[in-house]
């Protein structure tokens, strides 16, 4: 198929070649050109493409059944996956609700929180505080929590205005605070906001433990995480971790919360959960919350495709592969190597302002002045042009220009967790070639 005209549409015109096949970290278009999947799609394909064990599990499921509506049947695929997922989560997070994607997971998490509050006689609580910038999804409920103006503003009249606090963009701060003090400073913004809103009206706080698309792998100082948990507990507010991007090993822990020993009340997951083999996501919550809700008549929420056996067979096989191949620790180890190599680039390219992230959720940000972190001029459209230069050279990376409050072009380098040190060097070679071309195009300095 080669037609340029199509009946299909996405967010914008994206004249891309047709994908032919993919294997491991490599993807091939119909002309035979090879691409390194340096962003795992949109941080999805965590175990790489065409994993034979996942394909075999899906085929075996397909031979038995591909759909059983949840009101009519239980399926082993969904039961086994829920048990497996719960066993990999922190103690206490052991009830699993399936959905088909990240936005659905976030919608479900906030509705679960709301209904639970009602069962506790706290119907006055409905506000969900989130952060700015942030990304929680594109459905109207999740979008109301999303701190990213270009996507959200046109829909303002259709959404409840949800309160937002500043995300801990510490890399932009130029004060003399210690890391610990800075973490506490940002966390205390939550306390102030809860008090300003009236604690009895606040239902939950939702955060990406490590920022994804919105902030480019933004990690807060360690002190931030524990303090946020404390503040939520102080006011009886539910803590929701949006681990849609960070979950299932991406950051070098099964969920990112594990890095700090935090147990959120609710966790939203998707992306790496079935790693692109099927549309799947999950909300994992504390048993006490779910039991209260079921006792009170049930969860007033559910999707037709929830717990689809084919998707669940993929999810289960993915979690088994994550364990069998030791991908959580590989993400930590390869992440250290890749982060080191990206950091090395700062010597050659003075216009790289920051390298950040954890495990294999890594990003670099381009600036015109590293000292002041002044962004590159908007007109350069760096977030688009560098991605194109890399794409031409056979490397896929993911980028955004954050807008509103925080400005900057950042680039996520997040290969599948199966990556090897040799493949990291393949990524680096193309990235350097692309950055050199970008510097030439824009008259930016290059050292050495």
Q: Contact residues for ligand PMP (CB under 6 A)?
A: 42, 101-103, 106, 135-137, 208, 212-213, 242, 244-245, 270
Nearer to ligand PMP, 138 or 446 (CB): 138
CB of 130 to ligand PMP, least distance (A): 11
Nearer to ligand PMP, 106 or 238 (CB): 106
Nearer to ligand PMP, 151 or 263 (CB): 151
Nearer to ligand PMP, 242 or 265 (CB): 242
Nearer to ligand PMP, 411 or 438 (CB): 411
CB of 111 to ligand PMP, least distance (A): 15
CB of 107 to ligand PMP, least distance (A): 9
Nearer to ligand PMP, 101 or 335 (CB): 101
CB of 209 to ligand PMP, least distance (A): 9
CB of 211 to ligand PMP, least distance (A): 8
Chain residue whose CB lies nearest ligand PMP: 102
Nearer to ligand PMP, 273 or 438 (CB): 273
In SS3 terms, the chain reads as CCCCCCCCCCCCCCCCCCEEEEEECEEEECCCCEEECCCHHHHCCCCCECCHHHHHHHHHHHHHCCCCCCCCCCCHHHHHHHHHHHHHCCCCEEEEEEECCHHHHHHHHHHHHHHHHHHCCCCCCCEEEEEECCCCCCCHHHHHHCCCHHHHHHHHHHCCCCCEEECCCHHHCCCCCCHHHHHHHHHHHHHHHHHHHCHHHEEEEEECCECCCCCCCCECCHHHHHHHHHHHHHHCCEEEEECCCCCCCCCCCCCCHHHHCCCCCEEEECHHHCCCCCCCEEEEEEHHHHHHHHHCCCCCCCCCCCCCHHHHHHHHHHHHHHHHCCHHHHHHHHHHHHHHHHHHHHHHCCCEEEEEEECCEEEEEEEEECCCCEECCHHHCHHHHHHHHHHHCCECCEEEEECCCCCEEEEEECCCCCCCHHHHHHHHHHHHHHHHHHHHHHCCCCCC
CB of 103 to ligand PMP, least distance (A): 3
CB of 239 to ligand PMP, least distance (A): 15
Nearer to ligand PMP, 93 or 414 (CB): 414
CB of 419 to ligand PMP, least distance (A): 20
């Amino acid at each position: 198929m080669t037609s340029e005209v199509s009946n299909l549409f996405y967010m914008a015109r994206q004249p891309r070649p047709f994908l032919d096949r993919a294997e491991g970290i490599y993807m091939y278009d119909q002309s035979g050109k090879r691409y390194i999947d340096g962003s795992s799609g949109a941080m999805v394909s965590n175990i790489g493409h065409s994993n034979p064990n996942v394909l075999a599990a899906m085929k075996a499921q397909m031979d038995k059944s591909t759909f059983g509506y949840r009101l009519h049947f239980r399926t082993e695929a969904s039961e086994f996956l829920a048990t497996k997922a719960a066993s990999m989560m922190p103690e206490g997070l052991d009830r699993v609700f399936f959905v088909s994607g990240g936005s659905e997971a976030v919608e479900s998490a906030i509705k679960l929180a709301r209904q639970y509050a009602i069962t506790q006689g706290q119907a006055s609580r409905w506000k969900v505080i989130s952060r700015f910038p942030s990304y929680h999804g594109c459905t109207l409920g999740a979008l109301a929590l999303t701190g990213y103006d270009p996507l959200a503003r046109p829909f303002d009249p259709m959404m409840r205005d949800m309160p937002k606090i500043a995300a801990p963009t510490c890399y932009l701060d130029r004060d003399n605070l210690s890391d610990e003090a800075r973490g506490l400073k940002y966390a205390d913004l939550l306390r102030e906001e809860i008090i300003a809103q009236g604690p009895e009206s606040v239902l939950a706080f939702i955060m990406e433990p490590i920022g994804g698309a919105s902030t480019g792998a933004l990690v807060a100082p360690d002190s931030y995480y524990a303090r946020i948990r404390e503040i939520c507990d102080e006011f009886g507010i539910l803590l929701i971790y949006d681990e849609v991007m960070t979950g299932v090993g991406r950051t070098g822990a099964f969920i990112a919360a594990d890095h700090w020993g935090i147990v959120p009340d609710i966790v939203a997951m998707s992306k790496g959960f079935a790693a692109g083999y099927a549309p799947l996501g999950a909300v994992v919550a504390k048993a006490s919350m779910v039991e209260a809700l079921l006792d009170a008549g049930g969860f007033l929420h559910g999707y037709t495709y929830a717990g689809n056996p084919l998707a669940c067979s993929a999810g289960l096989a993915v979690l088994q592969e994550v364990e069998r191949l030791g991908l959580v620790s590989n993400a930590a180890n390869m992440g250290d190597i890749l982060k080191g190599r990206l950091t090395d680039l700062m010597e050659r390219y003075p216009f790289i302002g920051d390298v950040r992230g954890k495990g294999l959720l890594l990003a670099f940000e381009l600036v015109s002045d590293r000292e002041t972190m002044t962004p590159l001029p908007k007109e350069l459209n760096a977030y688009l042009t560098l991605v194109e230069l890399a794409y031409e050279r056979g490397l896929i990376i993911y980028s955004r220009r954050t807008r509103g409050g925080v400005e900057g072009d950042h680039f996520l380098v997040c290969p599948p967790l199966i990556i090897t040190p040799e493949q990291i060097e393949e990524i680096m070679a193309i990235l350097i070639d692309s950055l050199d071309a970008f510097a030439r195009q824009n008259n930016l300095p290059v050292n050495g």
